Each structure stands twice: as C-alpha cells, then as structure tokens.
Amino acid sequence: MRTIVVLMDTLRRDYLECYNSNTDCMNPNIREFAQDSCRFDNHFVGSMPCMPARRDIFTGRLNFLERSWGPIEIYDTTLPKVLFQEGNIRSHMITDHAHYFRIGGENYCQQFNTYEFFRGQESDPWVSLIDDPWQPEKYFGDVKRQYQCNRTRFKEEKDYSSVKCFDAAMQWIDNNKGAKDFFLMVETFDPHEPFDVPQEYLDLYNDDYTGPHFDLPIYHKIDEETDEAMEHLRRRYKALITMTDKHFGRFINKLKEANMYEDTLIILTTDHGYCFGEREYIGKSYMPAYNELANIPLLVHLPNQKGKGKAYKQITQNIDLMPTILDYQEINIPTSVVGKSLRTIIEEDKPIQEYALYGTYGCSVNIYDGQYTYMRGGRDQSQCYEYTTSLTTIRNWLGKEKGENIEMGRFLPRTNMPMYKVPSSPAALVKDTCFVNTDHLFDLSCDYEQKKEINDPEIIKKMENLMIKAMKENEAPLEQYKRLELQYSLD
C-alpha cells in the first residue's frame, strides 16, 4: 500500500478552515482534503518542539520524559526501518527542515532509503556573503544575518524552499507513477517562522502595516510590540499558511492525475502550534503547554476515502502515527512502540488512549483525560537527567560544561545499550522555567481556551493518579517522579 505523510511545521489547527469555520485564514486545499478525510479533534502533541516531536513520530513513543533535543538513538526502532526490513517497503523523505543537518539532528533522514534536502530556511548555513546583506534598521523581534543571506536567493515564489519541496514531491510521483508500495514523507518548514512570504499573499490579507520590520519573533511575553505589529505578524503567518496550502493543493492534484490518490493512505499533521499574543505570549516552549501549542491538527485520508468527512473525538497523539501506518501496511508493530493504531477508532469507533501525556523536556508534564487538562510543574530540577548514547543537542554539545558529573551505564530498562546520564540544569531547551514549571488545571469541556483556572483538590488528585499511571506506562525514568513530587510505587 502507498503511504504519504505531509508534515507542515508549526501549523495551528484553529487557523484551518476545516477546524474553525470562523477563521479568516485561507486554506481551501486543506479544507477540500479534509472533506475526503477523517478529522481527529482531540489530537495532541507528545514531545515538543521540533526534533523531539519527530523522534515521537519516528519511534511511536515519547521523547520528552528522558531527553531533550537530540538524534535518533542507536537503540531506536524507527518507522522507515521497520517498513523496509519487515515489509520491503522503500521510503523517501523530502524536506527543507535544516535542523536535520545541524548538530543534534543526526540520523533522522538516514532512516529512509533515500532523501532530498532543500536549503535556505531560518539560519541554515547556506549562502555565504562576506559583506553584510540588507538588514532593516528598525525591527521587532530578531533579524538573523544568515537568513538575510539566504533570502538573496529567493527572487520568485518558486525559489522558496517549501515550494521546492512540493515541486520535488510532484516530480517523485511522476518518477514512481503506478508504484503500489512506498512510504513518502513530505515535510515543509513553513509555516514556521520567520514568516517570510511573497507580497502577493500578504495582499490577500490587506496588510498595510508600516511599522518596524517584524517577521521573526523572539520567544517572550509581549513588551514593546504594538497591537498593529502583532496583527501584522498574524497576517504574515496566515499568508504563509495560504502559500503552503496552495502548493499542497498542487501536490494533491498531481496524485489525482496519476491515479494515486483514491487508494493511498495520506496523513497531514504538524509537530506543534504557536502563540501569537494569547496571554501575552509570543512563540513556543517557554510558556505552559496551552492548547495553542498542544492540540494540533490531524487529517487522515484512507484508501477509497473510508470514513470520508467523519470527525473523531477520541484522544490521539503523534506517537500513534507509526503503529497506524504499520497496521494498514499489515506489518507487526514492534513491542517498543507505545502509541496505538488509529484503525481501532476508524473501524470500531472505540478509544485507543485513556489520556494524552505531553510536554517539553525539563518543563511541566501535562495530561489530558478527555475533559481536564492538568499541567504539573517541576518541584526539584536537580532530579532532571538526560539519557542518550550521543552527546549532541540543538546546535551544541550536550553536557560539555558538566563532564565531571556525567555518568555512564545501563539506565533504561528497555535497552542494554550503555548510555550517558547527563544532569540538566537549567532545562536544555528552556533557560527560564519560571513560566513552564507551574501548575494549571482546566476543564476543556467548558473552557477550551483555558482561561479559567480550577483549584479543586479532588480533581487534582485524580489527575495526579492518572499522570503516575501514564508515566509508568511510558517508562518514565524514576527521578521524574521525584522532580514532580509524585508518589511512585511498584504496583
């Protein structure tokens, strides 16, 4: 069977017409695709942000309880490898996500039989200019010199790397027209920041902003940014979704022209969302894991459009994608996989998960039970360690200032591979944990926007017990219970 995963980075579900009929963000091709697909309304992240989320997807288990940002581990069992080794199904990745090729992003693309990478996103060290490129004199947020160098290559829309990804996907379909079994992953960094987009898409949103340049926010609480600047930023994001939607639509049309749409499993999702001023937060990671970040879109197009147009309320997470794909490919799901196949929901209308457990390494641990979301912050950050066979993290070496405190041994029961145990203080991804290590409780059945805090000891106790159960089932390291001051027992 043919399987295609389209992953758009930082895609907020409430900006999509298929999830929010009141949005003014134009994404007609995703809307049309949703009409042919199953829509999952209680779909949540697992680990955040980018690379932790991808390890979840590739391995079918949560990353954030034992490690921050890092590579595929030597002991990981990954989706592309299982597909090829157990089913002789060849895989190909098309991406412009530069983090795969920086320190801390090792071995993800290499899981595929083949892959293509298109240069230029964010601070991808691509275009070399000795003299400084153009940079605005006044701006909000940040302006990265390397991206301004890269932008000198973006003369037309076709030059943008996300557009090149969809062009390459269409060419790949032409080259493999009629193939019956494959796994294709098409991944675009857009609509991730910087929210750089051709002017014609901004014009669709009547953007007449004349203030300081603003397309790359710094993650922080709003201070100097004006209301006009924030609205401009939102319009840039909408415009970038609209451009990405256009080229997604071209790709879907190519599948239809090649008679490879109707009987193909096609999954559209993202890694996490983004805050655009809600509660005065801009960005991700450093704030509590509100729904703007954690409740993400998932659309699943089944062969012969089974379940077409149906919306499911059962709890799902990105760790469920690997077992779903293997299930539909009739390949045994490895015992290491914690996620569950969506097929049970689609064909039997039954739940597969009692909860969604999610978070960013070193920050609060969050759980959703179908009604309540409970966020529990760390009490004792000295009980925070990373477990890895490779001392790399985002653009850096992990633990390089703490060599005398790093241990080595066999610490995770599921593998006999020796690994490093690295003390993490502060959290590797979030230097200031004052926001993310706080407790919150919300009732999503009447407060989806999470504006009304609840302080009910009985509900909190219930959610604590569910969190303990969930952490056990996800094989959390024992010190995580100490960090959160949760009572661990062997039974």
Take residue 170 and report the two structure tokens written for it. Answer: 């269409």
> 61, 474 in Cβ contact below 8 A?
yes
| pLDDT computed for residue 435 by the predictor | 76
Question: Among 364, 463, 473, 477, which Cα is nearest to 419's?
Answer: 477
Specify the CATH number for 2-354; select among 3.40.50.170, 2.102.10.10, 3.40.640.10, 3.40.720.10: 3.40.720.10
User: Roughly how many angstroms between the first and final C-alpha of the chain, as a whole number?
Assistant: 42
**Virtual torsion, Cα 416, 417, 418, 422, nearest 10 deg:** -110
Give me the pLDDT at residue 430, please.
Answer: 73
Tell me the residue ranges of DSSP E strands in 230-323: 264-269, 275-276, 281-283, 298-301, 311-317
CA distance 101 to 118: 11
Mean pLDDT in each 10-residue stretch from start to end of the chain (491 residues)? 97 98 98 98 98 98 96 98 98 98 97 98 97 96 97 97 98 96 98 98 97 96 96 98 98 98 98 97 95 98 92 98 98 98 97 97 96 96 93 93 94 96 75 81 98 97 98 96 89 61
* Tokens at 238, concatenated: 């909408």
DSSP H/E element including 82: helix 79-87
CA–CA gap between residue 211 and residue 226 (Å, rounded): 9
Q: How far apart, in whole angstroms, are the C-alpha atoms of residue 207 and residue 210?
A: 9
- Whether the ω angle into residue 49 lies within 30 degrees of 0, i.e. cis, is yes
Name which of 360, 219, 233, 216 is nearest 282 in CA terms.
219
Q: How many CA atoms lie within 13 A of 161 on its CB side?
A: 29
For the chain, the domains span 2-354, 357-484
Nearest to residue 28, comparing CAs of 297, 236, 246?
246
CB-based contact 244:268 (threshold 8 Å): no
CB-count burial class (<10 Å; 0-12, 13-18, 19+) for 206: exposed
Query: Is-contact 124 197, C-beta < 8 A?
Result: no
357 membership: H or E segment, kind and range: strand 356-360
Contact (Cβ atoms closer than 8 angstroms) between residue 2 and residue 266: no
- Burial category of 191 from C-beta neighbours within 10 Å (exposed 0-12, middle 13-18, buried 19 and up): buried
Residues paired with residue 311 on neighbouring β-strands, in sequence order: 39
Measure the CA–CA gap between 100 and 185, rounded to whole angstroms: 14
The DSSP output letter for 379 is S
Residues 284, 286: Cα–Cα separation, whole Å: 6
Helix (H) or strand (E) holding 116: strand 114-117
Give the pTM. Answer: 0.97
Q: Tokens 């309540």 belong to which residue?
A: 372
Give the closest residue to 190 by CA, choosing from 289, 98, 61, 314.
Answer: 98
